[in-house]
Structures are given as C-alpha cells and as structure tokens.
Amino acid sequence: MPQDAETERESLFEAPPMAEQERMVEAILFATSEPISARELDARLPHGCDAAEALVHLRRRYEGRGVSLARIGDGYALRTAPDLGYLMQRETVEIRKLSRAAIETLAIIAYHQPVTRAEIEEIRGVSVSRGTVDQLLEMEWIRFGRRKMTPGRPVTFVVTDTFLGHFGLETARDLPGLRELRAAGLLDSRLPPMSMPGAKSEDDEDELPLKDGDQSELFEE
Amino acid sequence: MPQDAETERESLFEAPPMAEQERMVEAILFATSEPISARELDARLPHGCDAAEALVHLRRRYEGRGVSLARIGDGYALRTAPDLGYLMQRETVEIRKLSRAAIETLAIIAYHQPVTRAEIEEIRGVSVSRGTVDQLLEMEWIRFGRRKMTPGRPVTFVVTDTFLGHFGLETARDLPGLRELRAAGLLDSRLPPMSMPGAKSEDDEDELPLKDGDQSELFEE
Amino acid sequence: MADDWAEAPGAVAERLAAEALIVDVDGFEGPLDLLLTLSRTQKVDLRKISILNLARQYLEFVEKARQLRLELAADYLVMAAWLAFLKSRLLLPPDPEEEGPSGEEMAAHLAFQLERLQAMRDVAARLMARDQLGRDFFVRGQPETVTRTRKVTYTATLLDLMQGYARTRTRDEFRPYAMDREAIFSLEQALDRMRGLIGFAGEWTDISAYLPEGFGTDPARRRSAAASTFAASLELAKEGRIELRQSEAFAPIELRRRG
C-alpha cells in the first residue's frame, strides 16, 4: 500500500489517495515539535496533496479518542484529550520520619500539655521554629489549647485524639515517665554528638540555641 | 487511616469501560516519547484497569495508520510508520556514524549476548578498543550483563531496550537472521584448540600491546 | 618467487590482488580480516575453502610484505607462524606421538572462525539496513511532561516519641559523662596510634613507650592507656605485624616489628 502510493506518485505525479494523505499528515503532526500550519503541511506532502482536507478527516478520526487534533493559531497539533489531563499527573506518596526537632517538640507537648511555646523552648534548650509547630498542627497531632492565665496570655498546645490514635494511647497520661523509660532501657546513654548541647542537627537548622544564661537556668531546676 | 480510606474509596468505583481504558492508554502513550511498560501503565490508570488488554485494542486501531504502536522490550511506544520516513527530513536526527569496528562489535554483542570482551575479540580476531565499547555504552545501546561464571568472572555485555527501540525490534529474538545463524552453529561458543592465536585466557582484561622487542624476535623466527 | 607467480594460472590477477592487499595493509582489522579477504579469491563457499591454500596465500602475503619492507603488526606475524605450523601439520603424515589437536581440527576451527566472522559482518550489515529511529521512524515530537506531585506524609513511632522526650530531659546528664571519656584511651585509638608507629619499631622496645602523651601521669588515664595499648599490641601480633616478648611474669613487655 505505501509502496503503491509512492510509485504512483513518482510515475504519474498524481496525489496519493486521501486515506494515504491522512496518514502522512498524522505522522508529521505526531513527530513535529511545534504546531504546523496547513501551508507548511502542503509543502512537506507530495505534490498535489490537500493538507486542509486531510486535516478534516484526521480531526474526525480522532474525535472522542484519547488524542485530539487541536488548532493553535495558524497551526495544528495533536494533543492528549483535555479530560484525561489528570492521567498526566502522578502523585507519589512518600512516608518520611519526622525530624528530630518535631519529635522532641511533640514529645514535650504530650508530656507537659497544655504547654506554651516558651515552655517548650525552655525544656528543649533551643527555640522552636514555626515550621515545626505548623507541621504538627497540619498533621493534626497537636492543636491549640486554652490560653494560659499568665501575662501576655500565651497560647498553649495539647495533643489531639488523632495523636493518641496514631500512637495507640488512651490518654497522654499513659505515656511512661522518665524513670520507667530508664528502667526499660529506652534511655540511650550513648548519644551521638549531635544531641550534645549546642550541637545542631540538620533538621534543626532554623532553630537558634538559646543563650547560655537560659540554658543554665534549666539545669538548676 | 488515610491509606485504607483511599483504597476503599477507589474500590467503590468500577473500572472504566474498555473503550475508555483504551483512550486513556492512548493519551498516556501519545504524551511521551519513551516506552512505557504495561505495569507502569496500570499504575497510572484508575484502579481496576487492564492496560495489557487496552494495548491489544490500541495496536489494532493503529494498524496501517501514520503512527503505530511499537513494542520495545517490556515497553510500548507510539512511533511514526517507517514508510513515511521520507516526509520527515526536518525531524531527522543526525545518527552518529559508527566505525566498522563498532558496528561489528555491536552485532556480536546483540547475537552472542551475554558476551565477554575476550569472546568478542575471539570472534573478530582483534582486540576490542576501549573507545569502541565506551561509545556503545554511551549511546546506551549496550550495557553490562551478569558476570560470567568462568575463571576471573569477566563482565559481559548485552544490548539494551534503547538498542531494540532504535532498530524497531521487539526483542533480541527478532534480530535478522538469528535463527539461521543458530541453526548453522555459528552462535555456539566453540573454544579454539590450544595453541591457536587468539586462544587466550578470559580474564585478560587489559591486554598490553607487545613491546617492540617482542616483535623483532618474531621476525627472526 | 616471481617465477611462481608467472607460472600459476590467473597469476597476474592474483598478484595484482595481492599487491593491492599489501598497499592496503593498514585497512585490515587484524590477521583474521586479512584471511577472510584472501579467502574470497578462492571463490568458493567458506565451508569448502582450502585452508592449505589459504595458509599458502597468507604466507606469501607476509613474505611479500617483508620484501617490500612493510612493517606488519605482531599479530600478523604470530598468525603467519601459526599458519606455517598448521601447513606442516596438514602436509606431513600425523605423528602418533605428537600431542595436541590434529592439523585437521585446527584447520576446521580456522574455517569456522572465518565463517563466523563473515556471518557477523553479514548480520551487522542487515542490522544497519533496518529502519532506524530518528531516520526512518520517529518519536513523539511534543512530549507532554508528566507532572509529578509529591505528597509527603510524616510518621513517627511511640518509641521515637519517648526517646525524643528522654533526650530532651536528660541532656544535662550527658555532660559529665562526656568529660569521663577524656580519661579513656580506646582500643581503636590505641590501634590507630600503634599502626602508625610500629613501622619504626625495628628494635625490641618496651610497650610502655607506646603510651600516648599525657596518659602517663594520671593513674586512671595511665591504666586505660596501658590496657588498650596492650590489647592493641596483641591484635597487631595476631595480624603478624609485630612480635612480643616478656622475659618473666611482670617483666616489661617488649615488642618489635616483624620481618
């Protein structure tokens, strides 16, 4: 069939049949990197072809298909059907471990709730970044509690039922205390140097260590 | 749990009808220039779709068109019909001219794969230059296969899907003349009798050229 | 030699062919390629080729090249030597005492190699004659990129939580502990130190000479350093890098480099 078309063209200089012209236009539109006008198509097709007519046939052929013939200005291009655009997106869900800063902040909220940001900072010895709190809020593991009746009436944080559900706890009071943690061997005595006071871990980048004064106050407690 | 909710929600919907699945596959394949495997398609289609079946329908639909569905290794891709190549002068990319040595090496790898460097050298009767292999690797036409379980555990070479795609082959079994060569026993690895020139050990990775001294000794013989 | 050429039928053509080969010797990809080209002059199926004739042609070629003082690469000469050997094997009656493959076996393998090389060249040509991507058929010209949206969900375990809490609450406890470590000279440190020093230990030396600086005076530190240095020297002795000796119980332990 294609060979026939070619020999026909060459011997008689007659235009190939319309079906053949249509597949030629289809191939050119598929392979070009930019929309192409009917005039340009005519220039690329064998002598005597009628790109405009072939385009009409092609448009009809692709009606309702996953691909459609789009007109863009003077040019034509094959495009995936607009209703299938969602297939061109891939959503990947990535599960990541919470950063050390987030875990520590979360732990302090769970053990000390309701707790203010200043109190969290006091305990951790570093300032708590807004991003960490926002992340925990967004995960719905913490929420705002009542304002504290101290000067400035700071907001407090408490853990949520989602938090309790995730960690399989009935109440936050069920969390083991320090002594129990130690007895259970959960207090790792060989801490990596990262956790030494003053040393920052990567995820703590936006956290500024508190001044020495603040820190020593804590040790005196 | 969010994951459970998602699968539940998805299974509430039935898979779209096959005609719809076909247009989805069509859209996805149209959008990309790289081959996509049926498994990847399944992952991108809504739950319950059967990409393999949709591909069968789609291949039939594109038969005789200006664009056709090609199978390349594990993947599928749309390609223009080869007989229309003459219309595409503008799209033609300069194909790197390969040396005779590179072409022969490529053919030997394709027909004898997995094949070691020593085996290629045995067949061609000359040492394979590093440049030749590097060039084929760089074009992504060959890659390393498994090491051979012979002394020295030499690396082997195999051809890639890029190679298959370039030459319009579905699998390496479709190589032209493969069956005849096999029937004629020309693909058997026959070890040369001892004392043949070129009968060297497999693990001769970096063979050194003979020194001038060695050459002159030979003249005296 | 010239007489031989003249006597043979079709000699002129053959000689011209041979000379053309010599001039073009750089164009050959090794002796096998040359043999394959020579074998074409026999104008028969490669399976029916006369290896004896081929060996003669090749040797004549090499001889002619030497007369013309053309430099042939070593592998051409290795092949020449081997073909001369093969020729003698094929011509002389087989020696039952002789070991190794027979002349016929060697000839058969050479014929196989030539046929295989020719076959690979034929299929290589067929491969390159196929329709090729980017020349005869084409990929999608306007690929639409798949946008990847990445959704990240974070997780943590109860253990993470409790350890995190413990970490914040006990941070102060670790400070004195960190100071403790200053009095400890670990086995790793001792090994590192000794590996660097034993190169110079040609003579028997008291092991106490290997104690690190600053560890000799404070009893606690000295104890730690002595223990780890002794353990490290045992390890090095096990590796065969040093020898140890002690004249009697509680006498100084001495070491020296081995070999």
Average pLDDT for C37-63: 85
Q: What is the pLDDT of residue B197?
A: 67
Q: For C212-232, how does the pLDDT look when each residue is reduced to its tens digit (9 = 90+)?
A: 877 777 777 788 888 888 888
Beta carbons of C138 and A31 less than 8 Å apart: yes
Q: Could you tell me if B149 and B112 lie in one domain?
A: yes
**pLDDT tier at C187, thresholds 50, 70, 90:** confident
Q: For A19-42, how does the pLDDT look when each residue is reduced to its tens digit (9 = 90+)?
A: 999 999 999 999 988 889 999 999
Contacts of C119 in chain B (CB under 8 A): 181, 184, 186
Handedness of CA A40, A44, A49, A54 (dihedral sign): negative
Is the Cβ–Cβ distance between A5 and A36 less than 8 Å? Answer: no
Distance in angstroms (rounded) separating the CA atoms of residues A110 and A99: 16
Token pair 């106050």 is at which residue? A217
Q: What is the pLDDT of residue A186?
A: 57
Is the Cβ–Cβ distance between C116 and B167 less than 8 Å? Answer: no
Is the Cβ–Cβ distance between B199 and B145 less than 8 Å? Answer: no
Q: Could you tell me if A76 and A105 lie in one domain?
A: no
Q: For B169-213, how does the pLDDT look when each residue is reduced to its tens digit (9 = 90+)?
A: 999 999 999 999 999 889 987 776 666 665 554 444 433 333 333
Highest mean pLDDT among B61-75, C5-19, C74-88, C221-235: B61-75
Burial class of residue B57 (count of CB atoms within 10 Å of its CB; 0-12, 13-18, 19+): middle
Burial class of residue B30 (count of CB atoms within 10 Å of its CB; 0-12, 13-18, 19+): buried
Question: Higher-confidence residue: C71 or B107?
Answer: B107
What tokens were used for B40? Answer: 């990847």
CB neighbours of C153 closer than 8 A, spacing ≥ 6? A93, A94, A95, A96, B2
Contacts of B64 in chain A (CB under 8 A): 1, 23
Residue B54, domain member (yes or no)? yes
Residue B196, domain member (yes or no)? no
A125 at C interface, C-beta within 8 A: yes
Residue A216, domain member (yes or no)? no
Question: Higher-confidence residue: C76 or C156?
Answer: C76
Token pair 């430099």 is at which residue? C71
CB neighbours of A56 closer than 8 A, spacing ≥ 6? none
Distance in angstroms (rounded) separating the CA atoms of residues A40 and A51: 9
- In this structure, of A93-107, B47-61, C120-134, the range with the lowest mean pLDDT score is A93-107
What is A125-187 written as a DSSP string?
SBPPPHHHHHHHHHTTSEEE-PPPSSTT---EEEE-HHHHHHHT-SSGGGS--HHHHHHTT-S
| Amino acid letter, C21 | L
Which of B87, B116, B131 marks a domain boundary?
B87
Q: Are strands C147-155 and A89-97 parallel, antiparallel or unpaired?
A: parallel
- Give the DSSP letter of residue C95: -
Question: Higher-confidence residue: C117 or A87?
Answer: C117
Measured at the CA of B45, the angle between CA B41 and CA B49, to 5 degrees, comes to: 95
What is B2-17 written as a DSSP string?
HHHHHHHHHHHSPPPP
Indicate the residue of A31, A79, A196 with minimum beta-carbon distance to C178: A196
Going across the sheet that includes B67-72, the strands are B36-37, B75-80, B67-72
Specify which residues A137 forms β-bridges with.
none
**Alpha carbon separation from A102 to A26, C156, C160 (Å, rounded):** 56, 10, 11
Instruction: Name the residue of chain B whose CA is nearest to A44's CA.
Output: B87
Number of Cβ pairs < 8 A linking chain B and chain C: 154
A81 at B interface, C-beta within 8 A: yes
C-proximal residues of B, 36-75, CB under 8 Å? none
C45 at B interface, C-beta within 8 A: no
Distance in angstroms (rounded) separating the CA atoms of residues B84 and A47: 15
* Domains identified in chain B, total number: 2
Residue B189, domain member (yes or no)? no
Residue A203, domain member (yes or no)? no
Position B104 pLDDT exceeds 80:
yes
Q: For C145-176, how does the pLDDT look when each residue is reduced to its tens digit (9 = 90+)?
A: 666 666 677 788 777 887 788 777 776 554 43
Distance in angstroms (rounded) separating the CA atoms of residues C60 and C11: 13
Q: Could you tell me if A134 and A174 lie in one domain?
A: yes
Among C142, C158, C177, C181, most A C-beta atoms within 10 A, so best to mutate, is C142
Specify which residues A77 forms β-bridges with.
A70
Specify which residues C253 forms β-bridges with.
C246
Is the Cβ–Cβ distance between A208 and A126 less than 8 Å? Answer: yes
- In this structure, of A57-66, C23-32, C131-140, C187-196, the range with the lowest mean pLDDT score is C23-32
C-proximal residues of B, 194-213, CB under 8 Å? 194-198, 210
Beta carbons of A25 and B64 less than 8 Å apart: no
Domain CATH for B79: 1.10.10.10
Q: What is the pLDDT of residue B215?
A: 31
Distance in angstroms (rounded) separating the CA atoms of residues C46 and B171: 30
The model's pTM: 0.59
Token pair 């000689």 is at which residue? C15
Q: What is the pLDDT of residue B206?
A: 39
Average pLDDT for A46-53: 92
Beta carbons of A98 and C172 less than 8 Å apart: no
Q: Could you tell me if B180 and B106 lie in one domain?
A: yes
Is the Cβ–Cβ distance between B22 and B57 less than 8 Å? Answer: yes
Distance in angstroms (rounded) separating the CA atoms of residues C48 and C45: 5
- Give the DSSP letter of residue C71: P
| Continuous H helices in chain C | 2-7, 11-23, 31-40, 51-67, 74-91, 103-128, 158-169, 174-180, 187-197, 219-238
Distance from CA of A106 to the nearest CA of C (A): 7
Q: Could you tell me if A109 and A164 lie in one domain?
A: yes
Is the Cβ–Cβ distance between C127 and B175 less than 8 Å? Answer: yes
Q: What is the pLDDT of residue A199?
A: 36
Distance in angstroms (rounded) separating the CA atoms of residues C241 and C199: 9
H or E element, residue B76: strand B75-80
Residue B192, domain member (yes or no)? no
Beta carbons of A107 and C152 less than 8 Å apart: no
H or E element, residue B57: helix B51-61
Q: How many Cβ atoms are within 10 Å of A65's Cβ, its own excluded?
A: 19
**Alpha carbon separation from A4 to A8, A14, A25, A49, C185 (Å, rounded):** 6, 12, 18, 16, 90
Which of A29, A53, A87 marks a domain boundary?
A87
**pLDDT tier at B39, thresholds 50, 70, 90:** very high
Residue B91 half-sphere exposure toward CB, CA atoms < 13 A: 28
A184 at B interface, C-beta within 8 A: no
Distance in angstroms (rounded) separating the CA atoms of residues C100 and C80: 19
Q: What is the pLDDT of residue B88?
A: 86
| Buried residues in A189-202 as b, exposed as e (16+ CB within 10 A) | eebeeebebeeeee
H or E element, residue B71: strand B67-72
Instruction: Name the residue of chain A whose CA is nearest to B30's CA.
Output: A80
Beta carbons of C168 and A124 less than 8 Å apart: yes
Phi/psi class of residue C196: alpha, beta or left (left: φ > 0; alpha: ψ in -120 to 50)?
Answer: alpha
Residue A189, domain member (yes or no)? no
Residue A151 half-sphere exposure toward CB, CA atoms < 13 A: 0
Distance from CA of C214 to the nearest CA of A (A): 24
- Domain span at residue B168 reads 100-184
pLDDT above 70 coverage of chain A, percent:
72
Q: Could you tell me if A83 and A134 lie in one domain?
A: no
Q: Are strands C253-257 and C242-246 parallel, antiparallel or unpaired?
A: antiparallel
Contacts of B66 in chain A (CB under 8 A): 22-28, 30
Residue A34, domain member (yes or no)? yes
B173 at C interface, C-beta within 8 A: no
Instruction: Name the residue of chain B whose CA is nearest to C125's CA.
Output: B103
Is the Cβ–Cβ distance between A102 and A135 less than 8 Å? Answer: yes
Going across the sheet that includes B142-144, the strands are B115-116, B156-159, B142-144
Domains and CATH numbers, chain C: 21-93+103-125 (no CATH), 187-257 (1.10.10.580)
Which of A33, A59, A87 marks a domain boundary?
A87
End-to-end alpha-carbon separation of chain C, Å? 66
pLDDT above 70 coverage of chain C, percent:
82
CB neighbours of C240 closer than 8 A, spacing ≥ 6? C258
Beta carbons of C140 and A191 less than 8 Å apart: no
Distance in angstroms (rounded) separating the CA atoms of residues C206 and A167: 60
Please provide residue A149's backbone torsions phi and psi, each rounded to the nearest 5 degrees: -85, 45
Q: Could you tell me if A109 and A146 lie in one domain?
A: yes
Q: Could you tell me if B106 and B163 lie in one domain?
A: yes
Question: Is C158 in a helix, a strand, or coil?
Answer: helix
Beta carbons of A97 and C160 less than 8 Å apart: yes
Q: Interhelix angle for C11-23 vs C31-40, to 10°?
A: 160
B31 at A interface, C-beta within 8 A: yes
